[in-house]
Structure 1
Amino acid sequence: MPDILTRLALVASPTDRAQEAAAELRATREWVDYDDADGVVALGGDGFMLQILHHMLDSDRILPVYGINQGTVGFLMNRPKSSRPLEERIARARRIAVSPLWMEATTTGDDVMTSWAINEVSLLRETRQTAKLEVSVNGKVRIPELSCDGVLVATPAGSTAYNLSANGPILPLGSNMLALTPISPFRPRRWRGAILPDNAEILIRARESDKRPVSVVADQKEVRDVREVRVRAWPEHQLTLLFDKGKSLDERIFAEQFMV
């Protein structure tokens, strides 16, 4: 049995809806500061959840997070209303492990920028001209020149987000796979992407970067004018999300494959 979380920190998005819900919850129990907590209750949408997870990775203090949707989609969150008390919902919640990506980008000016990504790392053309990208996996060039609007690397948790919109595959949680998906590919015309083991290291180089500038986005962090980007999964820094039974992230990802 997992440890019961008793020392909870409450964090909320700055939106009116989330702040109102936070005010109601603060009156129901005693809360602790983040540094003293053994779990976090997050009120907001998916974007706010990603902010919280990035903060944990950057601070190297990773706690289980129970999200309550006070945003729009709430794919990473639980429903806001329930007949059960919050403590019971958290005690009964299913724990889902999510491994982030680690991105290292080198700009055309030789600056090196790093970031985590829970959903995906996306390379995108900056101008009207098509990007030309060289794609290598584990040190071997697999595509010498991919003409496209961009390419992305998605985790299973992020495979139903931008990756799915770009016609990439949905990856079940626990599959230990990554999706490498082109965005509006022009050549090679028949390449629709690849499914890679999550121990693969992916290197993407921008060809003709002066003429065809490329940016990279790791979840919400953007780096412009990149020359090359390295991406790999980082299972050593697993995150833990808590979900109500029957509504967990793996079930939602599975259900996405049958939606019409």
Structure 2
Amino acid sequence: MPETHTRLALVASPTDRAQEAESELRNGYDWVEFDRADVVVALGGDGFMLQILHHMLDSGRIRPVYGINLGTVGFLMNRLKSSRPLEERIARARSIAVSPLWMEATTNAGEVLTSWAINEVSLLRETRQTAKLEVVVNGKVRIPELSCDGVLVATPAGSTAYNLSANGPILPLGSNMLALTPISPFRPRRWRGAILPENAEIIFRARESVKRPVLVVADQKEVRDIREVRVRAWPEHQLTLLFDKGKSLDERIFAEQFMV
């Protein structure tokens, strides 16, 4: 857990609220550059937090992140107002480890593109025509043809986002599981998805990929006209999020199961 002498870096989303908060905080603390920081303080919403985490994964400069919500939902963030000074909040914060997904997409043109995903990797039909996908798990074809609007693989951290909206299961942090959830499945009609171990490799192959084009989205990165997508968790590149006591991500995920 960070001590009060921890070196802090400050980053903010370009929104007016976040920029105003940054101006107020900038003069109140001794900040350091990102590369010299022990902890990064991120001002913004969940989308901005995902951008920061992706930047860390791409650059290899991974730091614990304490987010302050100046966006809309703020599921990955802490509240703005508190009676405690920021340094004390960070020193007392609880650490939560999050394992990202690694996505490798091959397009119809043969181009191979890769990306990380903290929440989910989702495949979606590009046109009015239903997507037809072959689903392979650990080298075995589990569904020869899934007719659907799409399908997604979600981490525990992302299981309460798009996955929950698609009627997927909520996964507790530390469960070492992944949610495989169809989006508006037509056939097999009764298939509602699966819960897989974190070490599973999932392959989606688009059938009739030219006639029925499919795109893939890894958090915020989109690739169109894909032929095949490989997804697996990457626990070797764990990220660390810091939360105020009693407001941590695992408690929020747990509480989501009792909301009516």
Q: State the TM bucket, normalised to the shorter chain.
A: over 0.9
Residue 222 of structure 2 corresponds to which residue in structure 1? 222
State whether residues 2 and 92 of structure 2, in contact with CA within 8 Å, keep that contact through their aligned partners in structure 1. no
- Cα distance in 2, alignment partners of residues 190 and 161 from structure 1: 23
Residues 65 and 74 of structure 1: is their aligned pair in 2 closer, same or farther, counting only changes over 3 Å? same
Residues 52 and 216 of structure 1: is their aligned pair in 2 closer, same or farther, counting only changes over 3 Å? same
- Cα distance in 1, alignment partners of residues 241 and 64 from structure 2: 6
Residue 259 of structure 1 corresponds to which residue in structure 2? 259
| Amino acid across the alignment from 1:233 | A
| Amino acid across the alignment from 2:243 | F
TM-score with structure 2 setting the length: 0.99
Task: Give structure 1 regions of 4+ aligned residues with deviation exceeding 6 angstroms.
Answer: none
Trace 1:18-97 onto structure 2 (pairs within 5 A).
18-97=18-97
Residue 16 of structure 2 corresponds to which residue in structure 1? 16
**Matching of residue 233 in structure 1 with residue 233 in structure 2:** yes
Gap runs ≥5 in structure 1: none
| Amino acid across the alignment from 1:45 | G
State whether residues 2 and 90 of structure 2, in contact with CA within 8 Å, keep that contact through their aligned partners in structure 1. no
Could you report, residue by residue, the CA deviation over 1:116-162 in whole angstroms, capped at 9, with x for unpaired residues?
Answer: 00000000000000000000000000000000000000000000000
| Amino acid across the alignment from 1:256 | E
Trace 1:1-260 onto structure 2 (pairs within 5 A).
2-4=1-3, 6-260=6-260
**Matched residue count:** 259
| SS in structure 1 of the partner of residue 189 of structure 2 | coil
| SS in structure 1 of the partner of residue 147 of structure 2 | strand
Q: Determine what percentage of the aligned residue pairs are the same residue.
A: 88
Gap runs ≥5 in structure 2: none
Deviation at 1:6, TM superposition (A): 1.3
| Amino acid across the alignment from 2:239 | L
| SS in structure 1 of the partner of residue 164 of structure 2 | helix
Deviation at 1:164, TM superposition (A): 0.2
- Cα distance in 1, alignment partners of residues 16 and 2 from structure 2: 33
Deviation at 1:3, TM superposition (A): 4.3
Over aligned residues, Cα RMSD in angstroms? 0.6
Deviation at 1:210, TM superposition (A): 0.8
| Amino acid across the alignment from 1:112 | V
